[in-house]
Amino acid sequence: MTQRQSMEELAHSLPRAVARTLLQLPEGSVREIRIRAGEKTIIHTTEGAQACGQEPTPQQVGQMAEALCEHALYARVEEQRSGFVTLRGGHRMGMCGRVLVQGQSVRALREISSLCIRIAGQWRGAADRLMPLLRDDGGRPLSTLIVGMPGAGKTTMLRDALRRLSEAGIRVGVVDERSEIAAMSAGEAQLEVGPNTDVLDGCCKEAGLRWMLRSMSPDVLATDELGTAMDVQAVQDCIAAGVSVLTTLHGRAVQPPPTRGILSQLVLHRSFDRYVLLNEKQVGQIAAVYDGQLHPMELL
């Protein structure tokens, strides 16, 4: 699926005025669409923000959320609980509204009042500068952690890196818990992940990594956004089993090593061979690369 087709599909579920504006924008320039009840829709592009369309009512925002999810929002309660769902094409739709809480856990989201659609990018070449550092002298892929703030381009970088490895003949296994890496639809990847890539779609990272390890004999395993101690454990188990892991994590800095959180645990155990820090301000730009001992490395 090309970016154009993906945008056309997205535009189909949006009000006509917004759809028209969206489709007039240059291909690949859209970064984010923000819809709020009572406010004009704002499309963020590489060139800046653009307001368009009418001010939707809360009910219309809810209808848009339903339409964007192909009227299957009801079936995606688990995803809603974490605040967002993945749309066809790999785009991420964050939602706000009234949260129904049961005890300490989120039960459901009602009266959806705002949506934030982050456009999944297929930017070939995003990982070009990184590739020489991702393999050792013998050509073996190295375990790599990509760290960055939300929207910094972690998933895009990860996708491009695994595509390049896959094209080089390395067997890649992807555990795509939120369908954001490959955007699988009816058994086919909507985003390019390479010819030697197997995708386990919709499976949680912990179970998925073990599954792939047992069943697909991968050289590299890739997954997105480590979030829990169980994810970290599964990743460490895979690395200990001799398989390289490519993954991402929310974070602002690698050096000095953080003292709290998942990243500190990974750094402490020297789990990865490479740590890639993305630039906070420029999407998809690498700020620094560190080796397993957290020594800075030079990019070509």
Partner 1 sequence: MGGAAGALLCVAAGLAAGMAVRERWEARYQLVHRAQDMLARLRLMLTQERLGLCELLEECTVGQEGCMAQRFRNTAALLRREPLLALGEAYRQAEMQHRCPGEGLCERTALRQLFAELGTGTAAMREQAAAACLRRLKQAAEEVEKRRQTGGKLCVQLGLLAGIMAGIMLW
Site for partner 1 in 77-96 (CB under 8 A): 77
Euclidean distance between CA atoms 107 and 256, whole angstroms: 38
C-alpha torsion angle, residues 10, 11, 12, 14 (rounded to 10): 100
For the CB of residue 277, give the shortest distance to partner 1 in the complex, in Å. Answer: 36
Whichever of 74 and 136 has its CB closer to partner 1, that residue is 74
Give the pair of three-digit tokens for residue 255: 């050096």
Under the binding rule (CB under 8 A), the answer on residue 12 touching partner 1 is yes
Q: Compute how many residues bind partner 1; rule: CB under 8 A.
A: 18
Query: Based on CB atoms, which residue is closest to partner 1, 46 or 74?
Result: 74
Which residue shows structure tokens 């490479």? 274
- Shortest distance (Å) from residue 75 CB to partner 1: 4
Distances 26 to 117, 125, 255, 275, 290 between C-alpha atoms, Å: 18, 19, 38, 33, 35
Q: Is 71 in the site for partner 1 (CB under 8 A)?
A: yes
Stretch that binds partner 1, among 70-78, 158-166, 245-253, 273-281 (CB under 8 A): 70-78
Residue selected from 72, 101, 240, 300 as contacting partner 1 according to rule CB under 8 A: 72
Q: Is 69 in the site for partner 1 (CB under 8 A)?
A: yes
Nearer to partner 1, 38 or 132 (CB): 38
Which residue lies nearer to partner 1 by CB, 13 or 190? 13
**């945008």: which residue's tokens?**
7
Task: For residues 56 and 54, give the distance between their C-alpha atoms in angstroms, rounded to a whole number.
Answer: 6
Lookup result for tokens 């829990």: 228
- Residues 95 and 85: beta-carbon distance below 8 Å: yes
Please give the single-letter amino acid code of residue 2.
T
Instruction: Closer to partner 1 by CB, 70 or 136: give it.
Output: 70
Rounded to the nearest whole angstrom, what is the least distance from the CB of residue 77 to partner 1 in the complex? 7
DSSP per-residue string spanning 72-121: -GGGGHHHHHTTEEEPTTS-EEEEEEEEEEETTEEEEEEEEEEEEEEPP-
Judged by CB under 8 A, the residue of 74, 217, 241, 297 near partner 1 is 74
Which residue type occupies 151?
G
Name the minimum Å distance from CB 197 to partner 1. Answer: 23
- Reduced DSSP (H G I as helix, E B as strand, rest coil) percent helix, strand, coil of the chain, to 5: 30, 30, 40
- Which parts of 99-118 interact with partner 1 (CB under 8 A)? 108
Minimum CB–partner distance for residue 201 and partner 1 (Å)? 12
Q: CA 169, 170, 175, 178 torsion: positive or negative?
A: negative
Which CB, 62 or 173, lies closer to partner 1?
A: 62
For the segment 39-68, give every residue that binds partner 1 (CB under 8 A).
Answer: 60, 63-64, 66-68
Given candidates 47, 70, 128, 188, which one binds partner 1 under the rule CB under 8 A?
A: 70
Q: Which residues bind partner 1 (CB under 8 A)?
A: 12-13, 15, 60, 63-64, 66-72, 74-77, 108
